[in-house]
Amino acid sequence: MGYWAQVNESGVVVQTVITPNDDEQDSISWLGAMFGGRWLQTSFNTYGGVHTDPVTHEQTTDPLKAFRKNYAGPGYTYDEERDAFIPPKRFASWVLDEQTCTWVPPVEKPNDGNAYRWDEASVSWAMIPSTSA
């Protein structure tokens, strides 16, 4: 199986599809004939440059499996220079991690066992009150 992302002229992913064949040349030819546009292969089960095998749950950074850093989705941007799919930026204050091509908060999330949510107005993590009685 092959996973493919259609990228518009601005580098934005328009749609993703699965083909029964993962041969790049055959799939790109077929997708181009069927839908037009530019198609790039994307790596399923890949996030932040790490591919997780769905059966064994083993992780690898092997570029043959974890290519283009992230599995593409509609609204992602393909960065030609990094050869990476970058997800949409969730918050204005977050910055791009060059290694993973993911957006990260400018302040590390506390690791104290409590639940937090990002508060963009204060550019900080806000604790979510416990609902247990």
Instruction: Please give the residue that has the higher pLDDT: either 66 or 1.
Output: 66
Burial class (CB in 10 A: 0-12, 13-18, 19+), 118: middle
Single-letter residue type at 23: D
Dump pLDDT digits (tens) for 59-113: 999 988 898 999 999 999 999 999 999 999 999 999 999 999 999 999 999 999 9
So what's the pLDDT on residue 22?
Answer: 66
Predicted pLDDT at 131:
75
Q: Which has the closest alpha carbon to 3: 48, 58, 51?
A: 51
> For position 133, what pLDDT does the model report?
55
Domain ranges, ordered by start, for the chain: 1-88, 89-133
List, for residues 11-59, the tens digit of each pLDDT value.
999 999 988 876 667 777 778 778 888 999 999 999 999 999 999 999 9
